[in-house]
Structure 1
């Protein structure tokens, strides 16, 4: 047996001085996963609130997962986290179809799928097509020992890895696990919580393919200083991308904000994005990303950028409006309309954000007539949805009921959209 590998060397700013800690940095821990020769093949990535934290934040939502992926690719970068290895990332079962997976290159990402609450058969069944779609897109999937139970039989063809907590294994269970999964030739066993040479030898001899635990290395926190772009620039770019403006126009705006340019080039040149050559031109970056992926990246950037001149309460209100309007329109109108509704909600406080009258603020950006009509007069296709969002903020339920009757919406749908939007904005940490 070889001796365990040395812990991976930290990047120069891996652990900032205490005076800078918790302020202006983003933190992600990683723990190596090694093969039978103890060569590193991947890292499990774990969210951390600070340089000294040893536990993931208690809140685990779709938004926190999206923020985690954004920080990994745009702030710390995949080079500093997993290089040319695999990245194992924990996800929520209900979020397997989440749009936040659109910003990552799937070929080196392993999504660790959790156990269904109470082993609920419906939740297990509903996850199957989502898992299959993720596999088809190039993601790899992992699950815990629970997935070997009969209730999860439909998951097995989609799984690449079975992560087994060896400290919790009953004696003599490994042969039974092997027999139960032997027909799934793609499935590899990962021994988790390997904390001694004896444990490594035991599960090495049992035929496990990969290993993870304190015997090899404890989770190591990597961090990066976060450079925040101007909020107004992000909003302007969102508008241009949403209108599919000419690439030179987008490039011109990008060049005005060094922090934004830095983040974009760091993101697209991340090894996790999967390009074979480095991108040095903003124009090339925009063309490679495409409008849809760039728009989603900007939404996440806007939502996760603290410390702008805009007061956090104002930013939260604007983002909540946009998210609520987007949700109310989904399913009843087109996807483009839902995207425009998000823009209307966010831009509805543009005058407050910029500190100028709305007419003056709208001179700075070119918007479609329906969006302008909603912003100026609360009329048109989007105006009534904006009125509902504003009435919910004021808790004016008479106005809410009037508008939802006119639109044919249900009070239940509006309430659900409002609560989801509030939770989404809250979890962004704005």
Structure 2
């Protein structure tokens, strides 16, 4: 398989339910002339390889996937391999519209494929030509002035399309787009919301953080059990989960202490880390989207560490923790320094989380660049690391995403 990577950006509805992912496929730089002369775009080959090799359910879980559908992909027979129920084909506003291309899109629409018009910043003749074909219009709100945005929305509302606010990066932008009636939202704000220092951390989360501190330290099981007893709901979930995964045992687990012993500290630690992302009842869906991102980060960090040091379980575990903890400051609205201090974590993990320094910090930077689709940074870091190719990264990312999807389903 040619070198490529896969990134996912969450797409949420007005209630912040996770409804889809944009799948960002890129490949290693190839000869420019080959790309120009090749009818099938490189992205088409990459997409099909990923889908055939790795399975769409691993990539998307239960969500739809928005994918870039340039003319090379749309005009090819290869598109029939993409299931119409699972994908939304994105046409860029800059696409050259030929009669054959428009006819092909109409045929695909009749076969049940949905189209989205990507990166719209103003009405023009090309946009009006494409609007009858598409069911979603993605408006780049970062590139449109506030007063112009309301005019653009009014014009688009004349058509039976859903409006998706693209590149939402701040709370103010999200609030304005909500008022204008956008139905869907995508942007770095939702994958990694801004930290509001004035917000008081949720007491339930602080209690979970205390529990995580006990589990990570050398505290006795009795101390951990005592903290569980202060949280009846958490104790119930622990017992239910351990009983469900330990069905082969001769007897049911009927005490918190027994459940902790059966689960083991490492698994208990992972469970508490993930629970932190689902503890916010006031904004549950945002937390679920964050949990998916954090879980995928943790697993991907672990798999990268495994590729680097296959026999160093301690290194792999620390890498997993860095990935999971890297979004806790956002979720808890607490500075990362305070979280690091409270958990008393090792120096290499602290430097990774606070400054993106050291080996773990470099690998975390790689994952963050991957989430943003920043090809240049990804390739630079991979070259510096020296043990991972772009296609290796894509392979293990699919594993991480599949794992995060399964975790999310269990949590819900």
Structures share a fold, TM > 0.5?
no
> What range describes the TM-score normalised by the shorter chain of this pair?
0.3 to 0.5
Please report the TM-score for the alignment, with normalisation by the length of structure 1.
Answer: 0.41
Please report the TM-score for the alignment, with normalisation by the length of structure 2.
Answer: 0.43
Larger proportion of helix? 2
